[in-house]
Chain A
Amino acid sequence: MMEAEIEQYVDAALQMHGIQLDAASRSEVLNQFSLLRSMYLIVEKETLTADIESASVFRL
């Protein structure tokens, strides 16, 4: 996802959520979303086989 694609995605998702932002707030949301994407890229590197389900955190 490139910068322009992130902008398109964020704008479309904000519209779908019904959230209207001023320019400064939109810019900060873009920054935060880019940070989240960088976090995802770290986790994405892990190969997870199909048998790995979500953690059973409620049944430790």
Chain B
Amino acid sequence: MKTTPFTATECAAAFSVGEISAREIAQAALERISLHNPDLNAFIEITAGRAIAEADALDAARMRGDRIPPLAAVPYAVKNLLDVKGVTTLAGARLHARHPAARRDAVLIEKMRDAGGVLVGTLNMDAYAYGFTTENTHYGATRNPHDTARSAGGSSGGSGAAVAAGMVPIALGSDTNGSIRVPSSLCGIFGLKPTFCRLSRTGSHPFVPSLDHLGPFATTAEDLSLAYDVMQGVDADDHACAQKPPAQTMPELERGIDGLRIARLSGYFDDHAEADARWAASTAAKALGCMEEVDLQGVAQARAAAYLITASEGGALYLDELRDHLEEFEPLSRERLIAGSLIPVVWYQQAQRYRQLYLQRVLKLFDEYDLLIAPSTPVTAPLLWQKTIQVNGRALPTRPNMGLLTQPISFIGLPVAAVPFWTGSGMPIGVQLIAAPWREDVCLRAAYMLEKMGIAECRVGGMKK
């Protein structure tokens, strides 16, 4: 009996040698979506017609003897803040439903298509990307595949759930304050938040322009690296996109961690993490031979500054629509956006200036270390609609605080690979592998090493209702 390949690497390999057609792979993905999505609500739109057309084009190209691209026949899906030609970009918000369909794909989707990817749909998220739980009043909550009573995380919760449930091997999402790393942690998958400005944001709906990043999710570190590599490249249409040539990470994976100087972040990162999260970070550190701890100063201020910048830029972005269409806003974030639009400019300036101070402080740390380790989330997946989480004896509101450990890192744009660990409760929790700007290769080498050692792993499927 022929087994349908699942991971991106498996799909591309099986297709390239003619073991299976791209159409068969696409149809298998669409069947998995039909099977699992009703329980999870990960997808907002399934682009079956496009997927079959893209798959057929790949099959025809192979018949002609054309070059096989690196992601050939790999099904993937995208957070619905990325433009998909012919589909209205919702960014999780009913407010945007009246907008016309996108006239072209986002640049990252063009790159995925050129690399042979097959787009199967768009994915649910917190409205406007403002949240960490994907509890969406208008489009429904996304459920965690490992326990459907629990949150898949957010704001890229649909991306996390779609990969963790085995519907697609790769998904794209965005991360402003943790929206790739939080769902990766809660769903038990790999995620990469690249260096700020590394990947083009053209054709993505903004939230906080000075903090927004885009990146991939996958079930293996190798797939993560593969997806990241094909999406790199200069984009003149995105003023923030780095004018740097691509730095391929796939050839670096097998180098392992030899020569890397590694430290675990303690202090704030221990104080704001429950036992499971501290255990995961310590386990990763031990496996990577890390003996040192660093108590980075000013992390609470960094988190507070990120919170202010987010509220201010997000509020300003939506001010006109708050004025004119208040009743159409997501009730869970409407007042947060309004309050953000009222922030005095001196608060915002103080936050942006502190960002410079903190950035310089952390960059100095990379004179001594190549890789820093910290938990991704304070706790494992909370129940959906759970009001508070307990963190070292304190009850904190769930929705804004799942990013306590991710916000201080994305605040200064550092690249992070999120890797999955499994707790005694059977639920996953993630660890952040953090490197200096532009050193995604270091993050991914460590992620790949942990996976090869059997320490970090993605457990696809295993749905529990």
Contact = CB atoms under 8 A, between A and B. Distances in A.
B196 A60 contact: yes
B308 A57 contact: no
Nearest to B210: A57
A57 B55 CA distance: 39
Contact of B342 (A13, A25, A42): A13
Contacts of A60: 195-197, 242, 413, 437-438
Interface string B225-242: 000000000000001101
Task: State the main secondary structure of chain B at its contact with A.
Answer: helix
Contacts of A32: 311, 335-336, 338-340
A52 interface: yes
Interface string A10-29: 10011001110100010011
A2 interface: no
A40 to B, nearest CB: 5
A29 B339 contact: yes
B350 A43 contact: yes
Contacts of A39: 304-305, 307-308
A55 B306 CA distance: 12
Q: Is the interface on chain B under 10, 10 to 19, 20 to 34, or 35 or more residues?
A: 35 or more
Given A43-B304, A58-B240, A60-B242, A19 B356 contact: no
B341 interface: yes
A44 to B, nearest CB: 6
Contacts, number: 109
Contacts of A18: 323
Contacts of B308: 36, 39-40, 43
B463 interface: no
Given A36-B311, A57-B413, A25 B334 contact: yes
Contacts of B195: 60
Contacts of A3: none
Contacts of A29: 335, 338-339, 342
B48 interface: no
A46 B197 contact: no
Interface in B300-321: 300-301, 304-305, 307-308, 311, 319
Interface in B198-218: 210
B353 A54 contact: yes
B323 A17 contact: yes
Contact of A42 (B301, B323, B352, B356): B301
Q: Is the interface on chain A under 10, 10 to 19, 20 to 34, or 35 or more residues?
A: 20 to 34
A52 B343 contact: no
Between A9, A29, A33, A39, the greatest number of chain B beta carbons within 10 A of the residue's beta carbon is seen for A39
Nearest to B346: A40
A7 B341 CA distance: 15
A46 to B, nearest CB: 5
B356 A52 contact: yes
Interface string A44-59: 1110100011111110
A57 to B, nearest CB: 6
A35 B413 CA distance: 25
A39 B359 CA distance: 19
Contacts of B413: 57, 60
Contacts of A40: 304, 308, 347, 350-351
B342 A33 contact: yes
B301 A19 contact: no
A58 B239 contact: yes
5 interchain residue pairs of minimum CB distance: A32-B339, A55-B355, A42-B304, A54-B352, A28-B335
9 contacts: A25-B334, A29-B338, A33-B342, A36-B307, A36-B311, A36-B343, A53-B353, A55-B355, A57-B359
Given A46-B350, A52-B353, 8 more contacts: A14-B342, A17-B341, A29-B342, A43-B354, A46-B357, A48-B353, A56-B356, A57-B196
Interface of A: 9-10, 13-14, 17-19, 21, 25, 28-29, 31-33, 35-36, 39-40, 42-46, 48, 52-58, 60
